[in-house]
Structure 1
């Protein structure tokens, strides 16, 4: 079999362990007095199988394989290599946090890579494949050209899962209401303003005497009732979670921050001690402007929108409430944002206030102190 470019030695694909197809030169037996060389591995995680590449300190490929995307399979494959790995890297993703936690627990030196940085490094490659991605990750790990990502704790992941499920049901509930409104509008029937509880009764009034519309409304409202019941259940669970979570309770001492916003922010931060400065909260959630400077050109663009969009949305919502509603305890924050609104507009003022809230809330978590309006002078 002809060796492909970048490989060393004679290549062969051989069965190794269950769920693994392996390629690469057979490992040499180590002689007495021989110095060991550091090895680095990159994993491109897919749903069923992950591509794995191992390189030595010089960047030469030592081993490649397709391994089942299961923690036990990956751990078993790495332990079967016959040598220690200095570092293992994988991109942050849906399966990555679970695999990372399991491999870390097994004693492997594993790192989560920031997806944006890894994808930027891959753009120079003319051929996009899982094998090439694994090779690139291995080289990034070897050279140290990566930014590690924090792997959230299990409690933070559970909180995010609960908030995601709540948001999904809320979106589907709104979709059903909007779709039914659109159907009736085609027949000249206007639903008008309703609440979640009065929506079904209003639809029943409008479709009375229209057999076809009654059939449509009956089926749609039956699903609407189930979604509404489950959404109300999620609301109760989320509120109970916010009262039991010490960090969420602390954040709710700030005006305009309720259970949803506090849990969203607290679960995203997870461990406040990992931040050396509270000012890192702005760039973390993409609330700082992009910067471009080259020669005589120097300008700042729109916000980067990096990081967690749900946190950015929650902070913007809190800023909107502070600026548009009479909220006690935030007069200094509001006056600071209104000065920005006069010269740059209300939209930019809300973004600036959202960024300031992110910094303040992180400082509250780091110092473990509630919000103090007197300490918020601009």
Structure 2
């Protein structure tokens, strides 16, 4: 079996041809271009192509699928990819290690989305970049007026009804004198702001047309509190809902599961891993906070998680964001719309208190309520007894008078006794 492992670079890439039968290998350096990659595949007999997940891996994977070559795009976040103790690290060494790990089947393959989904992800990311640039220019204009003591409208009114007041201070840079150069700077900033705003509107119109034609986006938007931007980002990230095995799988893919450290009797859970798309996590968290005003299921879930504690509200918000993502994935997988009645009934059943508080307290004292629920029953929170107040502290040592100074202990001398 001939394995071709590629260590991809921005300009040059190294290919390692590894023969699994004879354990022999050779290297070849090519340019990271379509013509050079096609020539490499044409001039060699290859059974398996292995590469790392990076920028060029998308179009190289498309070339491999066109040639019907078996391809593995591996994740660089895997533990097998951590080569921290190597004394020498070169492109050839990386390509050779990649081929050896592919022979031992020690690589974790990742999902490579279609070119349409990759373009959609790129335009969504570019829209976020445009939004950041527009906000930065607006903040710079506000700072220019504030440093000169000129008042403008607050909020969005400054760029709608208050735009005429801002435009009254602009002037082309070639007409500015030495004392009002800031007006020329304002004119340049407003030109950039208008161009970016026009470009943002065109991108939004194109994404709206794409959302209308996509059934998954329309289905996810039926969740109260989930808008178009969150839905299209979530659908573009999940892509194929059937590639995830369970809810925990999609949660770990988004980086919203806690880190775990286990050794012997120690089993400790930490913060979320944050190994998935950062932009989607931030959008899901904003969606979770917004859904508390429109979604009754979100209110019940949020209340059940934080349990009235003010220190757990942020954790409950992150947990609610994860649950929204899981519900959206299940709706995409089953091709069903939002059904609030079933989710609200389940949330009320999970958060319902015990029928008798005295019986629950007695069970908690005797320990008779430690068994897990059977036959698929829903687990209910335990009613623990209130802690007893601390008693008096007893000590057998005699009390020392307050006026008596405390004697410091004498240090024993390390000198040896003198000889007489």
**TM-score (structure 2 length as normaliser):** 0.75
Give the alignment partner of residue 235 of structure 2, picking from 244, 259, 266: 266
Q: Distance in 1 between matches of 2:161 and 2:126?
A: 24
Contact 1:248 1:263 in 2 (8 A): yes
- Check 1:312–1:41 CA distance in 2 against 1; reply closer, same or farther (3 A cut): same
Q: Distance in 2 between matches of 1:358 and 1:168?
A: 23
Contact 1:289 1:301 in 2 (8 A): yes
Partner of 2:14: 51
Partner of 1:338: 303
1:372 to 2:339 alignment? yes
1:91 to 2:52 alignment? yes
1:49-80 alpha-carbon deviations (Å, 9 max, x no partner): 21111222268341111112124422432342
1:245-289 alpha-carbon deviations (Å, 9 max, x no partner): 111111111111111111101111111122222332211100111
Q: Distance in 2 between matches of 1:153 and 1:271?
A: 10
CA RMSD of superposed structures (Å) = 2.2
- Check 1:213–1:54 CA distance in 2 against 1; reply closer, same or farther (3 A cut): same
Q: Distance in 1 between matches of 2:329 and 2:37?
A: 36
Q: Report the CA distance between 1:298 and its aligned residue.
A: 2.2
Q: Distance in 1 between matches of 2:66 and 2:162?
A: 51
- Check 1:272–1:249 CA distance in 2 against 1; reply closer, same or farther (3 A cut): same
Q: Distance in 2 between matches of 1:289 and 1:190?
A: 48
User: When the two structures are aligned, how many residues end up with a matched partner?
Assistant: 335
Q: Distance in 2 between matches of 1:172 and 1:70?
A: 32
Which residues of 2 match residues 302-341 of structure 1 at below 5 A?
Answer: 302-323=271-292, 326-327=293-294, 330-341=295-306
Q: Report the CA distance between 1:178 and its aligned residue.
A: 1.2
Partner of 2:356: none
SS of aligned partner of 1:116: coil
Partner of 2:98: 137
- Check 1:298–1:218 CA distance in 2 against 1; reply closer, same or farther (3 A cut): same
1:76 to 2:39 alignment? yes
Give the alignment partner of residue 198 of structure 2, picking from 229, 235, 239: 229
More deviation in 219-228 or 110-119?
110-119
Partner of 1:5: none
Ranked by relative contact order (alpha carbons within 8 Å, sequence separation 6 or more), the top structure is 1
Partner of 1:128: 89
Q: Distance in 2 between matches of 1:272 and 1:72?
A: 34
More deviation in 258-267 or 276-285?
276-285
Which residues of 2 match residues 24-173 of structure 1 at below 5 A?
Answer: 38-57=1-20, 60-81=23-44, 83-85=45-47, 87-117=48-78, 120-173=81-134
Contact 1:67 1:73 in 2 (8 A): yes
Give the alignment partner of residue 135 of structure 2, picking from 148, 171, 174: 174
More deviation in 205-214 or 278-287?
205-214
Q: Report the CA distance between 1:222 and its aligned residue.
A: 1.0
Which residues of 2 match residues 183-194 of structure 1 at below 5 A?
Answer: 183-194=144-155
**TM-score (structure 1 length as normaliser):** 0.82
More deviation in 355-364 or 121-130?
121-130
Q: Distance in 2 between matches of 1:240 and 1:262?
A: 14
Q: Report the CA distance between 1:126 and its aligned residue.
A: 2.4
Max Rg structure: 2
Contact 1:59 1:139 in 2 (8 A): no
1:360 to 2:327 alignment? yes
Partner of 1:250: 219
Q: Distance in 2 between matches of 1:61 and 1:191?
A: 73
SS of aligned partner of 1:115: coil
- Check 1:44–1:207 CA distance in 2 against 1; reply closer, same or farther (3 A cut): same
